[in-house]
Chains A and B, each alone.
Chain A
Amino acid sequence: ETGVTQTPRHLVMGMTNKKSLKCEQHLGHNAMYWYKQSAKKPLELMFVYNFKEQTENNSVPSRFSPECPNSSHLFLHLHTLQPEDSALYLCASSIWEGQPQHFGDGTRLSIL
């Protein structure tokens, strides 16, 4: 139990579908992150939210749309994805930016 919960754990979707990934933390943290983990590549930072404000968009394609309604919840809205978007998507949180991060167990996304 890491304190960061991601749902769903697995998702299979077609290229024309729209789906959302959810991340929830009740650790009292103020910063939340989305990462993409692909086989044989380093973990890639996608987005950072600090006190609900986006502070980093690491040149992520617009087919990925993040939403942070409050400090405890983070969403990643997906639409018109490509096969190369298949990966493990990890959410993390920290008390604030720069502090050690707590990760969820990820959503394994497969694009058909």
Chain B
Amino acid sequence: SQQGEEDPQALSIQEGENATMNCSYKTSINNLQWYRQNSGRGLVHLILIRSNEREKHSGRLRVTLDTSKKSSSLLITASRAADTASYFCATEGGSGGSNYKLTFGKGTLLTVNP
């Protein structure tokens, strides 16, 4: 069953602007991960935030996690055309079955226009 759900489904911005994507999930988690997928390629891991963390940074990426609201956000600052890709959140653990199983959302398609 789907755990993470991204919002919006698609986002189009101009180069230099910030992009914010949101992820909501239903059950308790061990951690939440964000991945990027360029067209025709595999997924690339961006950042992992644990359930006891509230915010994490990596370069131009900022991820927040609110376990009380069961939501996370990914902020990409000063976007570039090369950031054009689909972005997925994935939750690990907490929903029964394999505790290490990653459950992905449908993704947000980000288009950064030059």
Binding site for B on A (CB under 8 A): 2, 4, 6, 40-43, 45, 48, 55-56, 90, 92, 97-98, 100-106
Contacts and interface: CB of A to CB of B under 8 A. Distances in A.
A56 B41 CA distance: 25
B100 A98 contact: yes
Contact of A42 (B45, B93, B99, B104): B104
Interface string B55-74: 00000000000000000000
Given A97-B98, A105-B41, 11 more contacts: A2-B42, A43-B104, A56-B98, A56-B101, A90-B43, A92-B42, A98-B93, A100-B48, A102-B45, A103-B44, A104-B42
Interface string B75-108: 0000000000000101011000011111111110
Contacts of A41: 106
B40 interface: yes
B2 A45 contact: no
Interface residues of B, number: 26
Contacts of B92: 98
B14 interface: no
B33 A48 contact: no
Dominant SS among interface residues on chain A: loop
A10 B31 CA distance: 33
Nearest to B88: A43
B42 A103 contact: yes
A100 B88 contact: no
Count chain A CB atoms within 10 A of each CB in B102, B105, B107 and give the residue with the most: B102
Given A41-B106, A42-B105, A42-B106, A97 B100 contact: yes
B44 A2 contact: yes
